[in-house]
Structure 1
Amino acid sequence: MESSSCFLNKSINQRKVVPDQRAFAFPTGYRGKRCPRKDAVAASGYVRWDGISGTPTLPAGTQIQRDDQVTFTTTQTVKAAGGVLRVPLVADNPGSAGNTDDGIALRLGTPVSGIPSTGYADTVAGGDDIEELETWRARVMERYYWIPQGGADPDYVIWAKEIAGITRAWTLRHYKGTGTVGVMVATGDPTHPAPGDDLVQAVRNHILPLAPIAGAGLFVFAATEKVIPMTIALAKDTAEIRAAVSAELNSLMLRDGVPDGKVYLSRISEAIILATGEVAHQLRAPVADVALGTTELPVVGTITWATYTEVSS
């Protein structure tokens, strides 16, 4: 039987190894076990003009502004060619706020001769907020209990998730033949979990010097989005309840979405019930559990809001 002093010493040693909640109350001072909190990342992409006359040039350092006052700066000097001007830019401030849907208006901060004041966003993505405290804490705890195994499946998952923007990863052994390794990665965005090419390449570059396999045997790729359209009838149907239902369904996709898994009808109905204000509903589509492929993650597709039908007793 252990003496009280022995038990006390063991407890103290464990507290030195495993961080408790208080360690994460001061995230700027605590770095984790070789697991620093992921910084925010600025969005980047292009601003595009079509139908340009002549060959005007947009210089690097030009400020571009979105209608909600989010600003960007061009990173290269580019001359129009073939009526098209496509200029790379980066958001001035890091974070997901810089991500911009294709076709959204982006305006010149100051006029430039020969170039219309309004261009349009083209693949402006990759922005990510500073890692949420609980997500970071989970990674640190995962790291504390993880024992490196020289390239075992969990190693690749840990390495992939060290890159800002990647919150989920899976290892696929013999992905492209004997001895090869596939690493599928995804973001925490329930509407667009598949990361862009630049982020996928960043994961590969990070893993290459750590992995025990040759570069030609490592395949890092984005998850495939399995879009699930739905038809839902709400007994009490308001814009606020619809928004709450959509939010709960997106959360469900993050919780239950795993490769080779299923999205069950019962879980979809449960998520709808959790929405604030929901009284009763009818799930018209899908009509069967949705099976996911080896490289697929679920995404809520277009929701068709139908009319609720009262069932007479």
Structure 2
Amino acid sequence: MAYPRPTLSQLRQQALQDVISGGIPGVTAVLRFSVIYVLSMVLAGLSWLHYGYIDWVAKQSVPWTATGAYLAAWGALKGVYRKGATAASGTATFTATGTDVIPAGTQFALQGGLLATASADSVTADGITAVNWTASSTGTAGNVTLGTIVTLSSPVPGIQTTGTVTDITVSGADIEDDTDFRTRVMEAYQAQGQDGKANDYVGWAEAVAGVTRAWVVGNGAGAGTVVVYIMLDEANAANGGFPNGTNGAATGDARYTTATGDQLTVANAIQPSQPVTALVIVCAPIAQPTDFVITDLGTGNTTANQKLITEALTDMFVRLSAPGGTINPNNWEEAIGAIGLDSFEVQSPTGPVTGANAGTMPTLGTISFAA
């Protein structure tokens, strides 16, 4: 049972009662603006601060309630470290004249006021020059979508001023917050050592900046293979959380096609820890959209309630969906029911939603509402 920390009001009352009961002859009450009353309030306040400090120390003394630097220290004891913010990178193409190129270090303005820098000289062929860029700022704020307009900050001879983003190599991610970091720290304390178990691969994948969910399928691509599916729900929110890149193995593993983008980042991060004989293939789940028809809302069929329903179903799919997994009717009934609507009926789907195969993951499709 948790210690019942006294409130400031209780401490003030206790201080006054102690004065009255302290045996001072003739003292049966304390005037509000008397010196002894003020001293009682001051002592009560100091005691309340001491209780608060002790409460804070208790929280930092165990990993499941620690915060900030203290949580990082608990994680370090298990070799788990907070994921730092990363910068997005990709490729943009411009129309070019002849063999002119964009020099490394050239700055671009991405649509939305974001800045990026050319990480190497561009490659020009057939009137098009392709340049690799890295966002100047870290975090999800530096993420853009395919087709985003790119503008050279200063003209380059022979190169058209505007171009487009044609590839996303790595998605930018914000620094890991305490909630997600604490989950990984606790998993490390609960683990029984790392030797290539399914949970180990999940932990290795989720330790990569931006990765929020991961699943493992043993022998998913044949004997001796380990297929790791990943999602980046925050970094790639504009893409539904799905990774940007192509499926494959780590750099230098000649047994399989080398991955690109987010998948390559994760595969390379797993490689130093995985069992030496395992062929690890990092993949993006295949989206299987599930449409919903929700009726019997009556007067509750409002824009505000429709938004709440959409948010509830979105959260449900993030929490429960998995490649090859199943979501049951009671799951969405509970999610929508928690909103507190007077009435509703999920007319469709009518039964469990299951991924078509091991790599297919149910996702939220379109939602139709009716009174």
Query: What TM-score do you get using the length of structure 1 for normalisation?
Result: 0.79
Q: What is aligned with 1:100?
A: 144
Q: Which moved more, 1:84-93 or 1:264-273?
A: 264-273
User: Which of 188, 193, 202 in structure 1 is aligned with 2:242?
Assistant: 193
Q: How many residues align?
A: 288
Q: CA deviation at 1:97?
A: 1.6
Q: CA deviation at 1:274?
A: 4.8
Sort the Cα spacing of 1:123 and 1:244 in 2 relative to 1 into closer, same or farther, 3 A. farther
Alignment RMSD (CA, Å): 3.0
Q: What is aligned with 1:75?
A: 119
Sort the Cα spacing of 1:132 and 1:294 in 2 relative to 1 into closer, same or farther, 3 A. same
8 A Cα contact 2:107 2:153, kept in partner: yes
* Structure 1 residues 53-92: aligned runs within 5 Å: 53-92=97-136
Q: What is aligned with 1:127?
A: 172
Q: What is aligned with 2:301?
A: 236
In the alignment, structure 1 residue 24 sits paired with structure 2 residue 67: yes
Q: CA deviation at 1:221?
A: 2.4
Counterparts of 1:79 and 1:129 in 2: how far apart (Å)?
Answer: 31
* Structure 1 residues 286-305: aligned runs within 5 Å: 286-292=349-355, 293-301=357-365, 303=366, 305=368
Q: What is aligned with 1:36?
A: 81
Q: What is aligned with 1:218?
A: 280
1:121 aligned partner, one-letter code: V
Q: What is aligned with 1:144?
A: 189
In the alignment, structure 1 residue 207 sits paired with structure 2 residue 270: yes
Structure with higher Rg: it is 2
| Unmatched segments (≥5 aa) in structure 2 | 1-58, 246-259
Q: CA deviation at 1:262?
A: 1.6
Counterparts of 2:242 and 2:110 in 1: how far apart (Å)?
Answer: 24
8 A Cα contact 1:252 1:268, kept in partner: yes
Counterparts of 1:256 and 1:161 in 2: how far apart (Å)?
Answer: 17
8 A Cα contact 1:73 1:91, kept in partner: yes
In the alignment, structure 1 residue 166 sits paired with structure 2 residue 231: no
Counterparts of 2:333 and 2:156 in 1: how far apart (Å)?
Answer: 54
> Which structure dedicates a bigger proportion of its chain to helix?
2
Q: What is aligned with 1:257?
A: 321
Counterparts of 2:217 and 2:266 in 1: how far apart (Å)?
Answer: 15
Q: CA deviation at 1:88?
A: 0.9
Q: Structure with the greater relative contact order (CA < 8 A, sep ≥ 6): 1 or 2?
A: 1
Counterparts of 1:250 and 1:36 in 2: how far apart (Å)?
Answer: 29
For residues 100-148 of structure 1, give each alpha carbon's deviation from its aligned partner in whole angstroms, at most 9, with x where no partner exists.
1111222221222333332222233511111121110010011011111
Q: CA deviation at 1:270?
A: 4.1
For residues 231-277 of structure 1, give each alpha carbon's deviation from its aligned partner in whole angstroms, at most 9, with x where no partner exists.
45665332x5544433332211111112332223443354345569x
Identity %: 30
For residues 176-212 of structure 1, give each alpha carbon's deviation from its aligned partner in whole angstroms, at most 9, with x where no partner exists.
3334333333323472234533322232223223222
Q: What is aligned with 1:7?
A: none
* Structure 1 residues 168-183: aligned runs within 5 Å: 168-183=213-228
